[in-house]
Amino acid sequence: MTTVVPFSSLTTFRVGGEPAEYAEATDVRGLLALLDDGWRRFDEWMVVGGGSNLLVGSDGFPGIAIAVRTRGIEVISGQDEPDVPEGAARLRVQAGESWDRVVAFAVEEGLSGIEALSGIPGSSGAAPIQNIGAYGAEIGDVLSSVELYDRESGTLERVSARDLGLGYRTSVLKRHGGAPAEREAVVVSIDLDLRRSLDGLGAPIAYPQLAKALGVDLGERVALADVRASVLALRGSKGMVLDPDDHDSWSAGSFFTNPIVSERFAADLPADAPRWPVGEVDEPVTVLPLDGSAGFDLPRPASVAEEERRVKLSAAWLIENAGIGRGFALPGSRAAISSKHTLALTNQGNASGEDVAALARYVQARVQSEFGVLLLPEPVVVGLDI
């Protein structure tokens, strides 16, 4: 008999109906068998990890949902694989492993490079699909390769991170707006090349809020454990660490990506609207909000024509300045803006996917009306119109 498991039990949003069929894989052989069978019998399919980047409507999903529950973290040295960079350790992580457990493992082993990514919910296999990032770091900074099971070829292959089209919260493996990914393949494991920290210190701090919380200047290095603890505290203060008793954490984290627009377009926004340069620049830049009174100029891209220069805006700032504050909810809805963080849409108890989608559309409309910017959702959205 087919197990019935609704997406409300599989996702951090705690909303969503049932898939037509549900199955769990606890080892690689079982995962490949389920994929082969699912691809043969269903036109639509999906894999589910931690469910932290997935919003599903009440009608559920007409295909098979396969939950990846594989586990394992292996340390690979240069003696095992000659291409491991000198001074690094390679972690080979099974796709179903909790991402935050991987970060905790790395910190305990004195390995640097992902400590700023502490507290991000979800599975390790989903991390490169989304190219997760926070506090000045991205998994793309340390990702060496992924092991993929390709639908077309029916084979396992290891693919370099360079061939994944990693971008801001995206890759060739990510579905967009319900559309299939550019490549139909499933992540089976990932390889991370982390730096062995002989002095116990992490990577240079690259994000002002984190530097402030640690009481250091940008570029300074801090003990790995202290960075992790500070990031967890910052995320917790925003409701971004999963807590079954805190409805503000019943979400997908940041719901909208920070929009990237032309520099020319951004010039018409209010002077206090934060913006960051994107693309190749003359000198390294961490974060540079534009403040007309401060007299700072954005660094100019070295090889991009003026009309093509891009800057990244703050979605949170746009939402707040469009008149939508923390805790806002549409009348009668159980979905609300987080009381801790404007960028998070939350389930305040018994909300539906449709409630969340309606709130998302309202936010989009307000921001577009006020600033002419269309915010795009970061989570994968299934069976809903956003």
Q: Which residue type, as a one-letter code, is found at position 42?
A: F
Concerning whether 254 is annotated as a catalytic residue, the answer is: yes
pLDDT in tens, 84-109: 998 899 999 999 999 999 999 999 99
Cα gap 386→360, rounded to integer Å: 7
Please provide residue 149's backbone torsions phi and psi, each rounded to the nearest 5 degrees: -105, 110
Is the CA virtual torsion 104, 107, 113, 116 positive or negative?
A: positive
Concerning whether 378 is annotated as a catalytic residue, the answer is: yes
Rounded to a whole number, what is the largest CA-CA distance in the chain? Answer: 68
335-386 pLDDT tens trace = 999 999 999 999 999 999 999 999 999 999 999 999 999 999 999 999 999 9
Q: Which CATH class is domain 73-237?
A: alpha beta
Q: What is the dihedral of CA 307, 308, 311, 312, to 10 degrees?
A: 130
Q: 240, 341 in Cβ contact below 8 A?
A: yes
**Domain residue ranges of the chain, discontinuous segments joined by +:** 7-68, 73-237, 251-382
Helices and strands of the chain, counted as H and E runs: 8, 19
pLDDT interval class at 285 (50, 70, 90): very low
Q: What's the distance, CA 52 to chain centroid? A: 9
Burial, 162: exposed, middle or buried (Cβ in 10 Å; 0-12, 13-18, 19+)? exposed
- And the tokens for 62? 């007409």
pLDDT bin (cut points 50, 70, 90) of residue 215 is: very high
Between CA 128 and CA 296 the distance in angstroms is: 34
Q: Give the span between the Cα atoms of 291 and 275, in whole angstroms.
A: 9
Q: Given 14, 90, 92, 169, which residue is catalytic?
A: 169
Please state which CATH number belongs to domain 7-68. 3.30.43.10
Cα–Cα distances in angstroms (integers) from residue 375 to residues 259, 369, 378, in the given order: 6, 11, 9
Rg (CA), the chain: 21
Cβ partners under 8 Å of residue 180, min gap 6: none
Spatial distance between the Cα atoms of 79 and 234, rounded to a whole number of angstroms: 39
Measured CA to CA in angstroms, residue 280 lies from 107, 133, 331 at distances of 31, 19, 45
Residue 180 above 50 pLDDT?
Answer: yes
CA nearest to 362, candidates 329, 334, 332, 340: 329
Structure confidence by residue, pLDDT tens digits, 322-346: 999 999 999 999 999 999 999 999 9
Q: Which residues, 6+ apart, have CB-to-CB distance to 199 below 8 Å?
A: none
Contact 384, 377 (CB under 8 A): no
Query: What are 34-78's pLDDT values in tens digits?
Result: 999 999 999 999 999 999 999 999 999 999 999 999 999 999 977
302: pLDDT confidence band, cut at 50, 70 and 90? very low
Cα 358 to Cα 265, 282, 336, 353: the distances in Å are 28, 42, 10, 9
> Among 254, 314, 338, 352, which one carries the catalytic annotation?
254
Strand order from edge to edge, sheet including 251-254? 251-254, 344-347, 335-337
286 pLDDT more than 70: no
Amino acid at 65: A
Q: Rounded to two decimals, what is the model's pTM? A: 0.87
Q: Do domains 7-68 and 73-237 have the same CATH topology?
A: no
8 Å CB contact between 277 and 288 = yes
Report pLDDT for 74.
96
* 233 phi/psi in degrees, rounded to 5: -65, -45
Tokens at 306, concatenated: 């003026």
CATH code of 251-382, in short, is 3.90.78.10
